[in-house]
Structure 1
Amino acid sequence: MLRAAASGSGRAYKQQLIDLLGLEPGQTVLDAGCGPGTDLPALAERVGEQGTVIGVDRDPAMLARARERTHALREVEVREGDVHALPMDAGSVDRAKIDRVLMHVTEPTEVLAQLHRVTRPGAVIGLVEPDWDTLVVDAEDIRTSRAFTRYTTEEVVRHATIGRSLARLADKAGFSIETVAATTPVFREFEDADHTLGLGRNMQQAIDAGRIDQDRGRRWFTSLSEGPFYASFTLVTVICSR
């Protein structure tokens, strides 16, 4: 998803997310599931030297990249931990974000409960997740495009439609919903879409699983690179308060 984040749509939703968090100097900010630390410098810039930015991830490779990216930023801490059991004290965070992580975790409700635990009363929390049911790939063979999206949502992504459920789940976790917004990342380059959306990889899995006929699936994939390309999906942002 790094390429998606670096695209125009990706930069727009990330900027929107950071703006809506209302970060102020001196605050403590959590980036839960920070990955390679892409957002940590921007968060650190907002809270300043008197603030603290804590990135949490469980993947050693991601932690190494995050530490390398932020080694010169004294206000940034990178901690190893599972978002199901955040390595932080209760009520210790002023702002928190979790971006495209809940779709992969074992129990999204447990992660939201953890975010509720570690945030202070009055804290602001930003949640961002895609709704993969909205994935569209333009092709003359629209039946295969639809079959590809169904396979992606049913077999590839653990919680494929969590984007549409964010506000409801956050409300059940005890948060107050402040803002719900949607962004549509658009892919016009076949190679970028193939890398980010797993077009070829997931199509081959669908063929191997008997969900899509082999010849039909391969013709569909080949056709995508032969003319103007379009694919998109919906990304949902929810801002809530503690």
Structure 2
Amino acid sequence: MEIINDNQSTLVVDNQCSSTQVTPIAMDHDDDKETRWMAIDKSECPNKFIQYVDEASKQDQIIAHTRYSTRQLQLEPGMKVIDVGCGAGKDLSRLESIVQGTGEVYGMDISREMVECAKSRMSHLPNVQVFCGNANSIPFDANYFDAVRCERLLQHIPQPDDVIAEMVRITKRGGRIVITDIDWTSSTISIPKHVEQINSIIIKDVVFNAHPAIGLHLKGRMKKNPQITDVDIFAQCLYTDSLSVADDFLWLGERGKMAVTQGLISEDEYMQWREAVEQMEEEGSFVFTINLFTVSGKIDK
């Protein structure tokens, strides 16, 4: 296990990126969580979601983590690889540059808006194909791919073990699967004691996706599948000392508001918490951390 938290890992973002802030897709426990990310297609401004993903992916820590996850695929020229939940295709050109013209790169996403954007961006690469699809039923024969990846997808999926099994199904013996996801419940803030309990409720109890702690449990889920061997884990502590970054890219402020709408805290408690957070920002003492995980394995079947 490798953990990174050094002076090179600070999340830095230009203030102009504040326009990329989007509201996370809240849900009740009874919602059809599998389709919540499709709300992008129904939103008034789908491009805002695309811009959010683009800007978040430009952060130094995310770039370093993605490079690691790409290495774990162990790609070579001529190989076939798919990015499940590819979004707007941020990683497809990188994959193509490794497998080159003799290889095949596929991107699949449930959002039509994301897929159309990715198609446009990849139109100059004839061996890259992007399409709409469901991660529970990937439309390829068994043993088709040399490598399969997904990033920050399983947190939105009701049955992540089924998706892992589907990824295994389409991967050749000896191939690789690499999964990256976040542990939202690992969020920590340098918070004053008088609002610690309110903060704990906001971080631990607010529901805005199917599996907030999925990153922490990725290794265990992959180890449960008997066809995955040589399971390896890479953990990175992301941190920022900017409240605007925590709000815009890590949904801190929105999670506080959701705690009110979900009946977990009162409006007064939210204001008390928010004032404490903003006071720390003014004093220069605000620190926010969250953990990101990549787990990889080899297919043996």
TM over 0.5: same fold?
yes
| Paired position in structure 2 for 1:64 | 116
Return the letter of the residue paired with 1:50. Answer: T
| Paired position in structure 1 for 2:221 | 169
Q: Distance in 1 between matches of 2:255 and 2:219?
A: 29
Question: Aligned residue for 2:7?
Answer: none
Q: 1:150 aligns with which of 204, 218, 228?
A: 204
In structure 1, the residue matched to 2:59 is 7
User: Which residue pairs with 2:289 in the alignment?
Assistant: 232
Which blocks of at least 5 consecutive residues in structure 1 are unaligned? none
CA deviations over 1:181-224 (Å, ceiling 9, x no partner): 10111122222211222222221121122211212212322443
SS at the partner of 2:175?
A: strand
Q: Secondary structure at the match of 1:25?
A: coil
In the alignment, which residue of structure 1 is the partner of 2:240?
187
**TM, length-normalised to structure 2:** 0.76
Corresponding position: 1:102 with 2:154: yes
> What is the aligned length?
240
Distance in 2, Cα, partners of 1:110 & 1:145: 33
Partners of 2:203 and 2:255 within 8 A in 1: no
Distance 1:184 1:6 in 2: 17
Residues 1:131 and 1:177: Cα distance change in structure 2 (over 3 Å): farther
The alpha-carbon deviation at position 136 of structure 1 amounts to 0.9
Please list the CA deviations of residues 43-75 of structure 1 after superposition, one character each: whole Å capped at 9, or x if unmatched: 111111111110011110110111111111112
CA displacement at 1:114 relative to structure 2: 0.6
Instruction: Provide the residue aligned with 1:211 in structure 2.
Output: 264
SS at match of 2:93: helix
Distance 1:136 1:238 in 2: 22
- Measured at CA, do residues 143 and 4 of structure 1 come closer, stay the same or move farther in structure 2, by a change above 3 Å? farther
Partner Cα distance (2:114, 2:81) in 1 = 19
Secondary structure of 1:160's match?
A: coil
Q: Which moved more, 1:69-78 or 1:160-169?
A: 160-169
Q: Relative to structure 2, which stretch is displaced further, 43-52 or 211-220?
A: 211-220
Q: Contact 1:124/1:241 (CA < 8 Å) preserved in 2?
A: yes
Alpha-carbon contact 1:95-1:125 (below 8 Å) kept: yes
- Name the TM-score, length of structure 1 as normaliser: 0.93
Where does 1:46-85 land on structure 2 (aligned, <5 Å)? 46-85=98-137
Separation (CA, whole Å) in 1 of partners of 2:261 and 2:124: 47
Q: Distance in 1 between matches of 2:125 and 2:242?
A: 35
- State which of 244, 250, 253 in structure 2 corresponds to 1:200: 253
How far did residue 157 of structure 1 move? 2.4
The counterpart of 1:91, out of the listed 143, 149, 158, is: 143
Query: In 2, Cα distance between the equivalents of 1:92 and 1:85?
Result: 14
Q: Once superposed, what is the RMSD of the aligned Cα atoms?
A: 1.5
> What residue number does 2:166 align with?
114
Partner of 2:173: helix, strand, or coil? Answer: strand
Q: Matched residues in 1 for 2:75 and 2:250: separation?
A: 32
Q: Give CA deviations for 1:103-157 in whole Å, capped at 9, x if unaligned.
A: 10121011011101100000011011112221112222332222211123xx222
Q: Any gaps of 5 or more consecutive residues in structure 2?
A: 1-51
Percent of aligned pairs with the same amino acid: 27
User: SS at the partner of 1:17?
Assistant: helix
**Which residue of 1 is the match for residue 211 of structure 2?**
159
Q: CA deviation at 1:41?
A: 0.7
